Structure 1
Amino acid sequence: MQTIGLIGGMSWESSAVYYQGLNTGVEERLGGLASAKSVMASVNFAEVTALQEQERWDDVAEILAGAARGVESAGADFLMLCTTTFHRVAEQVEAAVDIPLLHLADVVAQACTEQRLSSVAFLGTTFAMSRSFFTDRIAGHGLEVLVPDERHHEMINRVIYDELVHGKVLDTSRRAIVELIEELWDAGAGGVILGCTELELLVHQADSELPVFPATQLHVSAALDRALA
C-alpha cells in the first residue's frame, strides 16, 4: 500500500471528510483492521483565505508547497490537495516536490467522460466558479462546463462559508441549491459537479435527477485506486 500525502485545513471539515473516506474505503476494500497509510499537513484556513482575498497567490503557493515538502519528507508516495479553490496553485505545489499530484479536476473530468457526458455544470466557491483555472482543466478533457449566473454566487458562497464550513446543514439551503441545479439542467447540463467538499454534505444523488459528481468522493476513490494498485 502506498502512503497518501494530504494537504488539508481548507477547511478542516473538508479534511475530515477526506480522512474518513480514505480509511473507510481501505477497510471496505481490504477488510479486517485495514486502514489507509497517510500523512497530512493541515494549514491555517484563515491565513490562506486572507491571502487569497488579497490575490497574493505566490504567498499561498509558498505555504502549500512547504506543506507538500513536509508530507513528501514524511514518506508520502503521491499528493492530494484537499480543496478545490486552492488548486489555483496546484502546478506550483507539484513543482515543489518530486512526487506526483493527483489533480482533482482530472479525476472529476474522467468520471464525467466515463458516463459519456458532453456538458456538465460546476458548483463551487465564487472564486472557483468565476475564475477559469479549474473549469478550463475540466474542459480540456472535451467537456462543456456550465457555471451558475453571477447572481447566484453570493448565495452559494454564503451556504459554504457561513453554514457548511461550520457544520451547519440546513434544509432551506439544500432546496436553494437543488433549484439552482434544475436551472442548470434546463440550460443544457447533463450532470453536476459538486466542486466543493462542503457541498457534498448538503446535496446527494437522491436530491437531483441529474447525475451528481461529488468531487471529494471521486478524489478519494481515485487515491485508493492508486494507493492499492
Structure 2
Amino acid sequence: MKTIGVIGGMSWESSAEYYKLINRHTKARLGGHHNARSLMVTVDFAPIEALQRTGDWPALGEQLADAARQLERGGAELVILATNTMHRVCEAIEQAIDVPFLHIADPTGAALRAAGIERVGLLGTRYTMEQTFYTGRLRERHGLETRVPDEAERADVHRIIYDELCHGKVKDDSRAVYQRVIETLAARGAQAVILGCTEISLLIKPEDSVLPVFDTTALHAQAAVEWAIESA
C-alpha cells in the first residue's frame, strides 16, 4: 500500500474523522491487523479562517502548498486535502508537488453519476456554496446540476459549521435546521444532497435526510485508500 498524505486541521474535528475512515476502510479491504500507511500535516485553523474572511486566497494557497510539500518530503505518495472549502486553492497545491493530488469533488461526482443523479443539492460553507470552484467542477467534469440553499439558509448552514461543528458541538436544533434546508432543496428538484463540508457528517446521517446523502468525507477517504492499494 502506498502512503497517503493528509493536509488536515480545517478543522481538527473532521481531520480526526478522516483518520478513522481511512484506517477503517483499509482494514475492510486488507483485513487482519492492517491500517493505512499515512502522514498528516495539521495546520492551525485560526489564521486560515481569518484569511478566508478577508478573501486572501493567494496567501491561503501558499500555506497549503507548503503543507503539501512537507508531506511529499515526508514520503507521501498521494496528497489529499481534508476540507471542501480549501479546494478553492487546489491549483496551488497541485503545482507545489510532484505526487498526485486527489480532489474531493471527484469521488463525490463519480458516486452521484453512478447512482443516476443529475440534480443535487449542496450544503457547505458559504464559500463552497456561493463560489464556482466546487459547483463548476461538478458541472464541467461530472455533468451535475447543483442547487444551493437561499441566502438566509446559506447563512444558517455556514454559521452552524463555523460556530458549532468546528468546535465539536452537535446540537439537535441545528440538525433540525439542516433537515428543513434539505427538505427545501428536495422541493426544488434536488435528487440527492452533498454534505459538502467535512464537518457536516458529524451532524447529519443518512437517516436524518429526506434525500439520499453523499458524504464527501467518507467518499474522499475511501477513494484515497483505493488509490493507495491499487497503485502499490
- Per the normalisation by structure 2, the TM-score is 0.97
How many aligned residue pairs are there? 229
Inter-partner Cα distance in structure 1 for 2:210 and 2:183: 9
Q: What residue number does 1:207 align with?
A: 208
| Identical residues among aligned pairs (%) | 48
What secondary structure sits across from 2:164 in the alignment?
A: helix
Question: What residue ranges of structure 2 are gaps of 5+ in the alignment?
Answer: none
Alignment of 1:76-155 (within 5 A): 76-140=76-140, 141-155=142-156
Q: How far apart, in 2, do the equivalents of 1:131 and 1:45 lie?
A: 21
Query: Which amino acid in the other structure matches residue 154 of structure 2?
Result: H
Report Cα offsets for 1:118-169 as digits up to 9, x if no partner. 1100000011111111111011111100000111122112211111111111
Matched with 2:222 is 221
> SS of the residue aligned with 2:7?
strand
1:7, distance to aligned residue in structure 2 (A)? 0.4
Task: Name 2:165's counterpart in structure 1.
Answer: 164
Any idea what SS the aligned residue of 1:40 has?
strand
SS in 1 for 2:200: helix
Q: Please give the alpha-carbon distance, in whole angstroms, between the structure 1 residues aligned to 2:134 and 2:60.
A: 17
Equivalent residue number for residue 16 of structure 1: 16
Cα displacement string for residues 149-205 of structure 1 (whole angstroms, at most 9, x for unaligned residues): 111122112211111111111111111101110110010101000001111011111
CA distance in 2, matches of 1:62, 1:162: 26
SS in 1 for 2:41: strand
1:59-80 residue CA offsets vs partner (Å, 9 max, x unmatched): 1111100000010011111110
* Offset from partner CA, 1:80-113 (integer Å, 9 cap, x none): 0000111000011111100111001111111100
Farther-moved stretch of structure 1 (4-13 vs 203-212): 203-212
Match of 1:189 in 2: 190
In the alignment, does 2:178 pair up with 1:177?
yes
Name the CA distance, whole Å, in 1 between partners of 2:163 and 2:130.
Answer: 19
Q: Secondary structure at the match of 1:174?
A: helix
Give 1:209 shift. 2.8
Question: Normalising by the residue count of structure 1, what TM-score does the alignment of the two structures yield?
Answer: 0.98
Q: Distance in 1 between matches of 2:20 and 2:122?
A: 24
Q: How much does 1:208 deviate?
A: 1.7
**1:166 & 1:52 partners in 2: Cα distance?**
17
Runs (4+) of structure 1 exceeding 4 A deviation are none
Q: Distance in 2 between matches of 1:6 and 1:25?
A: 15
Contact preservation (8 Å) 2:25, 2:222? yes
Displacement of 1:33 in angstroms is 1.4
Partner of 1:4: 4
Which SS does the other structure have where 2:55 is aligned?
A: coil
Output the CA distance in 2 between the equivalents of 1:5 and 1:170: 32
